[in-house]
Structure 1
Amino acid sequence: MPGYDPSEVTDFLERAKRVFEEHEEGLGSADIRHKVFPLISKDGFATKAVDEALWRLEEAFADKERLEQTETMGEETYYQDVRERAQEILDRAARPDKLKFRRVSVVRPGYHLGDVDDLCSQIAGYFQQKDALSVAAVRRALLRTTLHGYDEAQVDALLDDTISVMLAVR
């Protein structure tokens, strides 16, 4: 069964530990969220286990970043910034169905409109404090692709921002 390259995973986790313990700089929660490891066909690390470890690591970094930022800029300023980011997400997520994001051309694949609209409805409900939604649910959301769907880069950016804001206030 394919898995992640053990040396790549080990090197990254060791670097993350050094950064977290403040022996090195240059890695944050967003870097961890975007990390992609190469797959190998034999003797790789189980992808699910590594992904879940990265999620926990991202959350630890986000907690540390929140503490550092509230100490630097003050809680009021920090949470005002987070509220503004949350409002931008809500404004996008609450747009009418089929109009939430730019559509790709009829010959290019994009995310399935219904899948994205449903997820955005959940995100909007969360930010309107109507519905519960976990970071894990956003991370695990499965979005099919289809021709003439939503622009994947735009959708991915919104999901990334959503996770970032959710971690900023937990």
Structure 2
Amino acid sequence: MTAMFRTAGRLRSGYDTDQVDEFFTHARRVYEGEIREPLAGADVRRAAFDLVRGGYATSSVDAALDRLERAFVARQRQEFVAAHGQQAWMEHLAAQARTLYGRLSRPDGERFAPPARGEQGYDPDDVDDLCHRLVDYFDHGQSLTSDEVRTATFGRAKGRSAYAEAPVDAFCDRAIEVLLGVE
């Protein structure tokens, strides 16, 4: 059997090939309707694989995951629109976007809770900059893509002024879902 992706090389770490192959084979079967099981774009985004020597190159797998997520979201949108109409889809997305506004309307430095004592978190200035871009997108029609949110990086910070990572990550996931629904 030929490899699904290029490998990282024998001396470098990459994603476990068996885990990746199993996931993509399963996802293909679900997408093609061979298996009746709910699998959504968010499930693809949450896929994680162990790092092992000689595994698949992470960049290749990550790019394929991004394409697969887009395919699942596009199909979900198509099915939703067919059943409920385009206007209902836009209302659905608007409702999802409104769930982001609670955080977006908070002042800089106060959008997310701090990390637990002794744990590192994200630099609030970096996270707040992304939040400003989201506000500009929603309120002023400025350009912003799901890829820009997905690839956003935040500096590390410690202490009470930092933002806890898990809530920021969950917020970004929700923003990606909304942006993918429009793209």
1:40 to 2:65 alignment: no
Q: Distance in 1 between matches of 2:119 and 2:154?
A: 16
Contact 2:116/2:164 (<8 A) preserved = no
Which among 109, 117, 140 is matched to residue 151 of structure 2? 140
Work out which of the residue numbers 37, 60, 73 in structure 1 matches 2:84.
73
CA apart distance, 1:129: 3.2
Residue of 21, 27, 33 corresponding to 1:22: 33
Query: Does the residue aligned with 2:169 lie in a helix, a strand or coil?
Result: helix
Q: Does 1:165 align with 2:165?
A: no
In the TM superposition, structure 1's runs of 4+ consecutive aligned residues that sit over 6 Å from their partners are none
Kept after mapping to 2: 8 A contact 1:3/1:40: yes
Query: What is the CA–CA distance in structure 2 between the aligned matches of 1:63 and 1:130, rounded to whole Å?
Result: 22
Identity %: 37
User: Counterpart in 2 of 1:95?
Assistant: 106
Aligned equivalent of 1:150 = 163
Deviation digits for residues 61-116 of structure 1 (CA, Å, limit 9, x no counterpart): 00000111122233222211211211222342242100111122452211111111
CA contact (8 A) 1:94 1:121 kept: no
Contact 1:3 1:47 in 2 (8 A): yes
Q: Which has the larger radius of gyration?
A: 2
The one-letter code of the counterpart of 1:37 is F
Find the aligned partners of 1:110 and 1:26 in 2 and give their Cα distance: 33
Give the structure-2-normalised TM-score.
0.86
The structural deviation recorded for 1:145 is: 2.2
Unaligned runs of 5+ in 1: none
Q: Greater shift after overlay, 80-89 or 99-108?
A: 99-108
Matched residues, number: 169
Gaps of 5+ in 2: 1-11
What TM-score does the superposition give when structure 1 sets the normalisation length?
0.93
Equivalent residue, structure 1, for 2:8: none
Residues 94, 120 of structure 1: 8 Å contact kept: no
| Residue equivalent to 2:14 | 3
